[in-house]
């Protein structure tokens, strides 16, 4: 019988709890969530900076956000998003979905809300390695330390801004802001804005800013130019070479004047509560040493849910949780630490050979199906149907080349390998 601590009640933590609650080998389950409600990223608030308890505001959600993937592939394998007439949903619908999921599986009542995890530290005991977790009850300020056999780290990875090194950024005369703090476009009314980064947030927000700003410059290094037709007040530029006063110098030698530098440069993995004796190191956004991006190799009774990106997030969380729970309950045994380390080194060599940088250590994209199959095979569980990755690929292409209208597309899953898409009144079946 084991005692398990889940840190965080976003989609990943809820999914972990959903499986752990019905797992016979689990005798005690604590789900610790610092916020007063579940849902993590999907909770919208106007507030930025710090909350009432002095903790950094967690969510990066902005008001106008619609999902960048169709809801048909955003549910859990055993709990799809309910049918409705649209595929791309506002954040509040995704939050409602997560509440439904948690309620249906008896998770909500088990969550200790307003409990902030401060420290996780391993300790050696005669019966093996255990964990001490120290957390603060934010309601009354009481700090407590409790012992667990297993730790699920589900604290989310889109909260700590990544600020790239750009010469002159510190001295820049105008405002500098990161997309983590973006809520509504009004503050950019009539401004000249330099948006740096063309990921999902950068593209969406740049387009939104064109409705209020005088001028939007979208600076990026995408290998392929998006075919999206942007409004006339949006101009694409290569990477920034340096900033000087209110001037931007681009790599192609051109220059421009701007009022605001708006960083859509992504986020950093951050585990402030892990004591260094947990042996988890984050360098250049690579979290090590993790076996299959899930298991802490140095302390295999600690796992991480949700580290890979460019994935079908909730489905992958579910597969990672099923994988790890099966290692807990004896369906299979994890390899030895040496074998796990060798597996990871081999994966890193393979990724490097294919041109992935260290910063992209957890990027899946084209590697998704292989990754899902490798988890499923080892744990003797079901992998994700290929239709979810197929729809993901299709949606991403349409995002890129038809940013203005792709969210009107409607998808329907027909079977594990086949889907239907209705776009611009035309219906197509793809397998
Ligand atoms: C703007 C934006 C748009 C996105 N759009 C999409 C999309 O369209 N489709 C998609 O699939 N994905 C999208 N994502 C990714 C999204 O983050 C994931 O889909 C998923 O919701 C992440 O879930 P999570 O549980 O890993 O993290 P989170 O949702 O961040 O949840 C982590 C939870 O842990 C809690 N926590 C953290 N630290 C502590 C602590 N020390 N003690 C206690 N509790 C703690 C937090 O309060 C939070 O509730 C988007 C992300 C962002 C930022
Ligand atoms: C946290 O503090 C509040 C207020 O005192 C209390 O009602 C609640 O039970 C505490 N939580 C736990 C898990 O002890
Ligand atoms: C182990 O866990 C998996 C996943 O939750 C479950 O399907 C399986 O029945 C469990 N096996 C045992 C022996 O409990």
Answer with the one of 263, 284, 302 that is the final residue of a domain. 263
| Domain membership flag for residue 168 | no
The residue out of 213, 238, 263 marking a domain boundary is 263
Pocket of ligand 2 (CB under 6 A): 112, 137, 139-140
- Of the candidates 4, 8, 17, the one whose C-alpha atom is nearest the C-alpha of residue 102 is 17
pLDDT of residue 227: 86
Same domain, 223 and 132: no
23 close to ligand 3 (CB < 6 Angstrom): yes
Say how far residue 173 (Cα) sits from the centre of its chain. 32
**Does the residue 232 lie in any domain?**
yes
For residue 190, the model assigns a pLDDT of 97
In a domain, 185, yes or no: yes
Residue 167, in any domain of the structure = no
**Residue appearing with tokens 């012992």:** 147
Report the domain count for the chain. 3
Binding site membership of 322 for ligand 3 (Cβ less than 6 Å): yes
Residue 285 lies in a domain: yes
Q: What is the pLDDT of residue 8?
A: 98
CATH of the domain at 188: 3.50.50.60
Ligand 1: residues whose CB is within 6 Å?
Answer: 7-13, 32-35, 40-42, 58, 60-61, 65, 67-69, 74, 116-117, 154-156, 158, 201, 273, 306, 313
Contacts of 232 (CB under 8 A, 6+ apart): none
Q: Which long-range contacts (C-beta less than 8 Å, at least 24 apart) are formed by 338-347? A: 340/289, 340/291, 340/295, 340/297, 340/300, 341/289, 341/297, 343/291, 343/292, 344/288, 344/289, 344/290, 344/291, 344/297
Q: Is the CB of 331 under 6 A from ligand 3?
A: yes
Same domain, 96 and 195: no
Domain range for 418:
387-430
Last residue of a domain, one of 263, 282, 310: 263
Do 15 and 155 lie in a common domain?
yes
Q: What is the pLDDT of residue 226?
A: 87
Where the chain has pLDDT below 50, the residues are: none
- What is the chain's alpha carbon radius of gyration, rounded to the nearest angstrom? 22
- Cβ-in-10-Å burial (0-12, 13-18, 19+) of 49 comes to exposed
Q: Whose CA is nearest to atom 6 of ligand 3?
A: 326
214, 190 contact by CB (below 8 A): yes
pTM here? 0.97
For the chain, the distance separating the N- and C-terminal CA atoms, rounded to the nearest angstrom, is 45
Which residues in 301-323 are b (16+ Cβ under 10 Å) and which e? Answer: bbbbbbbbbebbbbbbbbbbbbb
Do 111 and 127 fall within a single domain?
A: yes
Predicted confidence at residue 284, as pLDDT, reads 94
């Amino acid at each position: 019988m084991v005692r398990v601590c889940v840190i965080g009640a976003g989609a990943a933590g809820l999914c972990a709890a959903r499986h752990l609650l019905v797992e016979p080998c689990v005798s005690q389950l604590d789900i610790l969530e610092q916020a007063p409600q579940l849902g993590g990223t999907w909770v919208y608030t106007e507030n930025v900076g710090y909350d009432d308890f002095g903790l950094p505001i967690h969510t990066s959600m902005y008001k106008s956000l619609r999902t960048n993937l169709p809801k048909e592939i955003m549910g859990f394998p055993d709990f799809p998003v309910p049918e409705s007439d649209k595929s791309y949903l506002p954040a509040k619908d995704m939050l409602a979905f997560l509440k439904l999921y948690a309620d249906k599986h008896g998770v909500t009542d088990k969550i200790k809300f307003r409990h902030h995890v401060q420290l996780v530290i391993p300790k050696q005991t005669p019966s093996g390695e255990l964990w001490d977790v120290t957390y603060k009850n934010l309601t009354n300020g009481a700090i407590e330390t409790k012992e667990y056999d297993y730790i699920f780290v589900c604290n989310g990875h889109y909260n700590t801004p990544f600020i790239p090194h750009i010469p002159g950024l510190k001295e820049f005369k105008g405002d500098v802001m990161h997309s983590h703090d973006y809520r509504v476009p009004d503050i950019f009314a009539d401004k000249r804005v330099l948006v740096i980064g063309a990921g999902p947030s950068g593209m969406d927000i740049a387009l939104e800013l064109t409705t209020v700003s005088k001028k939007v410059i979208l600076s990026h290094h995408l290998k392929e130019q998006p075919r999206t037709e942007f409004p006339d007040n949006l101009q694409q530029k290569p990477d920034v070479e340096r900033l000087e006063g209110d001037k931007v110098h681009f790599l192609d030698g051109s220059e421009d004047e701007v009022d605001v530098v708006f960083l859509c440069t992504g986020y950093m993995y951050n585990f402030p509560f892990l004591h260094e004796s947990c042996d988890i190191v984050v360098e250049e956004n690579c979290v090590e040493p993790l076996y299959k991006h899930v298991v802490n190799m140095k302390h295999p009774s600690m796992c991480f849910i949700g580290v890979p990106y460019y994935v079908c997030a909730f489905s992958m969380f579910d597969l990672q949780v099923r994988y790890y729970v099966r290692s807990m309950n004896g369906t299979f045994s994890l390899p030895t630490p040496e074998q796990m380390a060798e597996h990871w080194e081999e994966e890193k060599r393979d990724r490097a050979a294919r041109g992935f940088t260290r910063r992209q250590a957890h990027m899946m994209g084209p590697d998704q199906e292989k990754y899902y199959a490798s988890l499923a095979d080892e744990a003797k569980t079901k992998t994700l149907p290929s239709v979810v990755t197929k729809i993901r690929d299709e949606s991403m292409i349409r995002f890129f080349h038809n940013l203005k209208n792709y969210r009107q597309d409607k998808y329907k899953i027909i079977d594990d390998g086949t889907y239907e898409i209705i776009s611009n009144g035309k219906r197509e079946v793809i397998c």
